[in-house]
Structure 1
Amino acid sequence: MSRSQPPSPALLPGVDRAAFAVALAVRLRRHGVPVGLTGIEDFVRAMAVSPPVSRAELYWAARISLVRQRCDIEVFDAVFSAVFDSGGLALDPHARRTPQVNPHGGDDDAFASVSTSSTDEQPGGGLPWVTLPQVVAEAGESESELAVPERLPSELDGLADVSFEELDAGEMDLLSRWLAAAVVDWPTRRSRRHRVDTRGHRIAARCTLERSRRTGWEPIELIRVRAIDKPRPVVMLCDVSQSMQAQAPAYFHLMRALALVARAEVFAFATTLTRLTSVLTHKSAEVAIEQATDKVTDRFGGTRIASNVQALLSSHHGGRTRGAIVIVGSDGWDSDPPEDLAAAMARLRRRAHRVIWMNPRAGAPGFEPQVAAMAAALPYCDKLLPADTFRSLQRVITEISHAR
């Protein structure tokens, strides 16, 4: 019984196939061979499906994938030879249909060298086929261009953890777009409307009887329906008093994201309540924030949280709080009596589906709600979340999306 032969070792073990294919394509482009992205992708897939075990297999995989015109074959052969002759990978002389002729004389199976640019003669100008690129730890001491770059955090990701006081208007606008992109998965609630669905648990008697007319009033097929889900409403109140001066612009960006994506009702309050839904839905973030700032006439003054919560519940907009997710952004400093705020929050809690309080002071180590108003409102809140950076505002959006 014959024993099966062990598989031949791969030609280029431990090589980043994508980096190898791109480096070879760049070398070919320098010598006039038009190599496209499709060819590079085909070459990478070819090496992944059938890893080359000889130089001949590598040659044909690269030639079939990267060369599209017959006139480019001679240039490809010369580049391939110039690259791999120095690596010691022998090529079967019978692997090519037409042997290469050395213009400088000598062995017919030798390969002609290619005149390369000055960049190829520099250290690290070859292909990453012998060893992997150098690691990041040694990249600072090496002159190789093939070193793996250090993955530093992006500018956007770094700004997400910066406090609001240190951000300018441009950075605020950049982060607001990042915040709006985070509002993708929104909670829903069951509505009173129904639609036909074979997986429904309820039988639509009227539709079933209507269809049974075709069969002499025999209900051959039962029509099932289920309730239609609709987005859960969202209402946000933002404190714009003197103690919230640094956080108010960032909270406006959060309210704009909620108003645009989730069609939320948003309000600002200090001593009076101001509805900002119409102005914050402007297509320009800069214009929307400017109009919202101008519309709030009592900003950076005193705070009356209890009075404004009662005003919202008593207005015709208070109906939007029924079954809604209500977000209150404030540090809890209130000039109204704590018992008034407790009564207003209790009334709000009976209407709303969930109540989330954002406090910019809650992110400080060892924070405790010792302010009288904050302590009075906390029992009626489902969550108390820090909101001192844009990353913490994204956590607020995540918490809302999980409110099923």
Structure 2
Amino acid sequence: MTIDPARDVLGFARRLAADGVDVPPTRVHAMFEALDVLGAGSLRSVYWAGRVTLCGSPEDVERYDRVFAAYFGRRPGRPARRVTVPPVTRLVALPVDAGDGARDGDEADPDRQWVATSSRVEVLRHRDVSTLGPADRAEVGRYVSALLPAAPDRTTRRLRPSPSGPVDARRTVRSMLRHGGEPVDLRRHRHGRRQRRLVFLIDVSGSMAPYAETLLRFAHAACRVRPGTEVFTVGTRLTRVTRELRRREPAAALAAASSAIDDWSGGTRLGDELKEFLDRWGQRGTARGAVVVIGSDGWERGDPALLATQMARLARLARRIVWVNPHRGYHGYSPSTGGMRAALPYVDRLVAGHSLGAMEELAGLLGGRDPRERVRLVWGIAGRRPRGPSRGRVPQGKGEA
């Protein structure tokens, strides 16, 4: 196979960046330098030159192998028949007045211009998981398990050495004593950074059954990359499944979690279960300063006033509350259920969770790539999030129109 570095390497780097791998220009330049040493005559040389230079973490290797096999047709050292490239859906540009008869010869017309290509994964990215078949849902689940959710950092009180920042007088004086009292260099320090805790509360009631597995896969991905993540399921009872989701393999983790959940596809008592969570775990430190993700459609069998009271308690403890509602992804959605209307004044972000694309956006939001802004809800639901005076903040409204 003949490799054109100027064309194939740049095209492969663009495809890799589109699949979610961070590929800055410096890494592409490093790959060209590696090819100058190894040579671009064999596919094996191109594979290892790109793997060493373009992969920034162990999590990028799986995506790299998948994109390499799809772009070059196979991976070195493996027979080509073992590589399955997803089918490609092509959209063609038709004249405005073209009828049904104009579509019959689309494939045979050489002058027809292709205007877009989309892989099967791209098609699945925007489809509701509740409408997918078992094979498509399993494929979406594999991509959700490969996500890398993270939480914003927080400033710690402990000071750490830093090349910039205020002068560290103690370390500077010690350095002067080692150099005979001469101020050779100024030592500086600044406050360290620590990642916040992630807490998941996932609704496993009957109305959330088509989406609960996807949310649990997302929580398992968070547990894999962040050991301090806590996961609970809510329904007719509260179940802590953190230990089960800490297993490495997604299938084994989900099987263990399913065995531990006794109220799968039951009813929903969000207010009662949230109160139990705050009394047993949240008030004791699990929710303090954490980013809490609640995955539910807001159908509440209990008293909405109790849910509003417990959400107010949670808002005083948590740094940020993200509510994932699968119905939020539909056009014209309005939070008409009593549970959602009671909870919205205390929610920082209301996002969709119905598709692979929505899960990718959620991972980016938790990772801090989305600005921390109060969401302006357009449904006329206003409320203020109470803040204690000890936190030193001016109370700010949540969900104000």
TM-score with structure 1 setting the length: 0.61
Matches within 5 A, 1:349-388: 349-388=315-354
Tell me how far apart the structure 2 counterparts of residues 346 and 173 of structure 1 sit (CA, whole Å): 37
Q: Does 1:269 align with 2:256?
A: no
Of 208, 211, 216 in structure 1, the residue corresponding to residue 172 of structure 2 is: 208
Amino acid at match of 1:140: E
Maintained 8 Å contact 2:204/2:265: yes
Greater CA drift, 315-324 or 189-198: 315-324
Greater CA drift, 254-263 or 332-341: 254-263
The alpha-carbon deviation at position 149 of structure 1 amounts to 6.9
The alpha-carbon deviation at position 348 of structure 1 amounts to 0.7
The alpha-carbon deviation at position 284 of structure 1 amounts to 2.0
Amino acid at match of 2:331: P
The alpha-carbon deviation at position 203 of structure 1 amounts to 2.8
Of 218, 238, 262 in structure 2, the residue corresponding to residue 297 of structure 1 is: 262
Structure 1 pair 295–168 and aligned structure 2 pair: CA distance change class (3 A): farther
Amino acid at match of 1:377: A
- Residues 281-319 of structure 1, C-alpha deviation per residue, up to 9 Å, x if partnerless? 322222221211111011222211112222222224651
Computing the radius of gyration over CA atoms, which structure comes out larger, 1 or 2? 1
Match of 2:250 in 1: 285
Amino acid at match of 2:272: S
The alpha-carbon deviation at position 170 of structure 1 amounts to 4.1
Maintained 8 Å contact 2:288/2:318: yes
Number of paired residues?
279
Q: Secondary structure at the match of 2:311?
A: helix
Q: Does 1:193 align with 2:153?
A: no
Q: Does 1:241 align with 2:210?
A: no
Tell me how far apart the structure 1 counterparts of residues 255 and 149 of structure 2 sit (CA, whole Å): 26
Tell me how far apart the structure 1 counterparts of residues 278 and 202 of structure 2 sit (CA, whole Å): 15
Q: Does 1:311 align with 2:304?
A: no
Match of 1:256 in 2: 220
Q: Secondary structure at the match of 1:244?
A: helix
Of 126, 140, 145 in structure 1, the residue corresponding to residue 107 of structure 2 is: 140
Structure 1 pair 252–168 and aligned structure 2 pair: CA distance change class (3 A): farther
The alpha-carbon deviation at position 347 of structure 1 amounts to 1.1
Q: Secondary structure at the match of 2:275?
A: helix
Matches within 5 A, 1:1-400: 37=2, 40-41=4-5, 140-142=107-109, 151-183=116-148, 186-200=151-165, 202-215=166-179, 221-263=185-227, 264-316=229-281, 318=283, 319-400=285-366
Amino acid at match of 2:259: D
Maintained 8 Å contact 2:230/2:242: yes
Greater CA drift, 334-343 or 210-219: 210-219
Q: Secondary structure at the match of 2:327?
A: helix
Amino acid at match of 2:216: F
RMSD over aligned CA atoms reads 3.2
Tell me how far apart the structure 1 counterparts of residues 197 and 327 of structure 2 sit (CA, whole Å): 27
Amino acid at match of 1:378: L
Q: Secondary structure at the match of 1:334?
A: coil
Maintained 8 Å contact 1:173/1:286: no
Q: Secondary structure at the match of 1:328?
A: strand
The alpha-carbon deviation at position 164 of structure 1 amounts to 2.1
Identity %: 31
Structure 1 pair 44–228 and aligned structure 2 pair: CA distance change class (3 A): closer
The alpha-carbon deviation at position 248 of structure 1 amounts to 1.2
Tell me how far apart the structure 1 counterparts of residues 108 and 358 of structure 2 sit (CA, whole Å): 39
Maintained 8 Å contact 2:92/2:116: no
Match of 1:25 in 2: none
Amino acid at match of 2:121: L
Amino acid at match of 1:191: T
Structure 1 pair 204–248 and aligned structure 2 pair: CA distance change class (3 A): same
Q: Secondary structure at the match of 2:322?
A: strand
- Give unmatched runs, 5+ long, in structure 1: 1-35, 46-64, 68-134
Match of 2:66 in 1: none
Maintained 8 Å contact 2:278/2:314: yes
The alpha-carbon deviation at position 212 of structure 1 amounts to 2.8
